[in-house]
Structure 1
């Protein structure tokens, strides 16, 4: 299935991906769990999850990500469950997405969403400082995460919210070691002076983070889950050290664990901004948290699909 995407990218064409699966689940009434956000919606609201995938495909998405962004072992353990539950949720997330892709009239790739999400302080989007783990244990955990996505049969892995020079680098290394195509999605923020900084490390310039992730290779790379206004400056920094296919899928709103705070960005506004990025060389385009099916449908129409 990935060969179809690779051919499009090699030909300089645009690939449309889905929007914010987790926030769509929340908007449609799926239960959000305080310690693990949307992870358990796979089990408690499988029909809603299937409808989210189906609707994004109907809107024009050529790639859908399985609901595993928040389904990391530390998040599942923080919610009081064990590794067996993590594996079960990951498998079910893949099976639901794969079934949606199989129902599609056109080819749809199923991507494993690979994050480094760890327990979060309630009411914020910041990691709980009480959570600690050794590098050795972290690497083993990330290796298990990557290998499960491969063993399930994901067509590719999308690294989501890579943001630092340690855990994110280790995760990307593990994903690339699987041999699957890997798209590296990096997140960032602007400080009060408008300078692009690390997403959780405002004292670290983004230009000191991106190259370490990009140097490992990958099939595509770019900016995701970042504010629309900071995405283009961040893409400019990525392009300084990356000459492969460029990706962009921004957020709209902000997170206060375990609820997403939605903004009023219209589908038309979203599509116009994304088309500007495409005009500047972005080939993989879509949305993240707060971006809905309506936004992706408007983007597909603007791209004349």
Structure 2
């Protein structure tokens, strides 16, 4: 039986998401300088994917994202996997999460009073498969049919494998997002949408987040949250405010740590500046975010900071 987002939100008031998959995997010795990125670990180091999920559960995450962002049928088959093997690896991303969730729940979670964490099936954008940073640009120049074919089967696999919600995340393009959202509606799958953004009011392809939210709020009854991720943290408060002001959906926000990605080398540069992650998290909560977590370069310590910030925010109301 799937877990409902509304039930977890009602219990926790503010949902805590997990953080990055890539940074903990690299810290444990995974070489992710590959077009498959973190999906490489699904085939080669699944035990480490489990460990990442477990560490986030223990840090306080009420929801976690499957290791399927870069696990696409075109990407996997180009690297030599058969169609069956590619589909099985995508399903495995959900199975690993659910198996680790069950083990954590029996050993620790049930007695803690916390809800069982939601499983969010990551559906990255078409640009992620290109492995050239296109998820921060959009404007792919491909047909609608290419986008439908790219997204459809992976979404079916993730939903059939038992994910609680589909996570249409790091979306740079409203046009692509509408195609993916329509596919989710055809599946009858609950989902959320999260955009990559270039500043405090626009997604990467240029549309305002307000226009995006208004467009998707109509005619998409299975859309459960809307928000932003894989975006510099200094833009997040403004983006949450814009989204809260234009639609009645819960707002999800999980930015990067503040470093800058070089898509050519798949490396990150600079150091996070400004407030620490916990202070940022409280700002997003005060702005009206219903779900808070981290994206690239964030780890379990960032989620622990966000958990402490939620405790303070819910106690003091500020």
**TM-score interval (norm. to shorter):** 0.7 to 0.9
Does the 8 Å CA contact 1:19/1:286 hold for their aligned counterparts? Answer: yes
* Alignment partner, residue 61 of structure 1: 61
Other-structure match for 1:174: 183
Does 2:140 match 1:120? Answer: no
Asked if the contact 1:22–1:67 (Cα under 8 Å) also holds between the matched residues in 2, the reply is no
Which residue does the alignment assign to 1:275?
Answer: 282
Spell out the pairing of 1:125-136 with structure 2 (5 A cutoff).
133-136=142-145
Aligned mate of 1:264, from 259, 262, 271: 271
CA change 1:143–1:292 in 2 (3 A) is: same
Aligned length: 298
| TM-score using structure 1 length | 0.86
* Pair 226,3 (structure 1): closer, same or farther in 2 beyond 3 Å: same
- Per the alignment, residue 287 of structure 1 pairs with 294
2:304 aligned partner: 297
State how far apart, in whole Å, the 2-side matches of 1:123 and 1:240 are. Answer: 30
**TM superposition shift of 1:276:** 1.7
C-alpha deviation, 1:47, in angstroms = 1.5
CA contact (8 A) 1:73 1:82 kept: no
SS at match of 2:130: coil
Mark the runs of 5 or more structure 1 residues left unpaired by the alignment.
Answer: none
Aligned partners of 2:174 and 2:212 also within 8 Å = yes
Quick check: 1:185 aligned with 2:190?
A: no
Q: Which moved more, 1:219-228 or 1:52-61?
A: 219-228
The Cα of 1:111 is off from its aligned counterpart by 1.4
Deviation at 1:213, TM superposition (A): 3.4
Counterpart CA distance in 1 for 2:137 and 2:43 is 25
Q: Counterpart of 2:26?
A: 26
Choose between structure 1 and 2: higher helix proportion: 2
- Following superposition, the deviation at residue 83 of structure 1 comes to 2.8
Other structure's SS at 1:282 match:
coil
Structure 2 length normalisation: TM-score?
0.83
Cα distance per residue 1:164-220 (max 9 Å; x no partner): 132221112212332232121122112xxxx63332x25x44444443334334111
Whether the 8 Å CA contact 1:161–1:225 is kept in 2: the answer is yes
Give yes or no for the alignment of 1:222 onto 2:227: yes
8 Å contact from structure 2 (residues 136, 196) kept in 1: no
Whole-angstrom distance in 2 between the partners of 1:49 and 1:234: 31
The whole-number CA distance in structure 1 between the counterparts of 2:2 and 2:262 is: 35
Deviates more, 1:76-85 or 1:20-29: 76-85
Contact 2:195/2:203 (CA < 8 Å) preserved in 1? no
In structure 1, the partner of 2:169 is 160
Per-residue CA deviations over 1:130-172 (Å, capped at 9, x if unaligned) read x865322421332212111111011111111122132221112
Question: Helix, strand or coil for the counterpart of 1:37?
Answer: coil
Mapped partners of 2:235, 2:121: distance in 1: 26
What is residue 86 of structure 1 aligned with on the other side? Answer: 86
Give, in angstroms, the shift of residue 262 of structure 1.
5.7
Partner of 2:36: 36
Q: Counterpart in 1 of 2:216? A: 213
**Residues 128, 115 of structure 1: alpha-carbon distance in 2 compared, 3 angstrom cutoff:** closer
Q: Distance in 2 between matches of 1:72 and 1:45?
A: 18
Distance 1:117 1:138, change over 3 A: closer
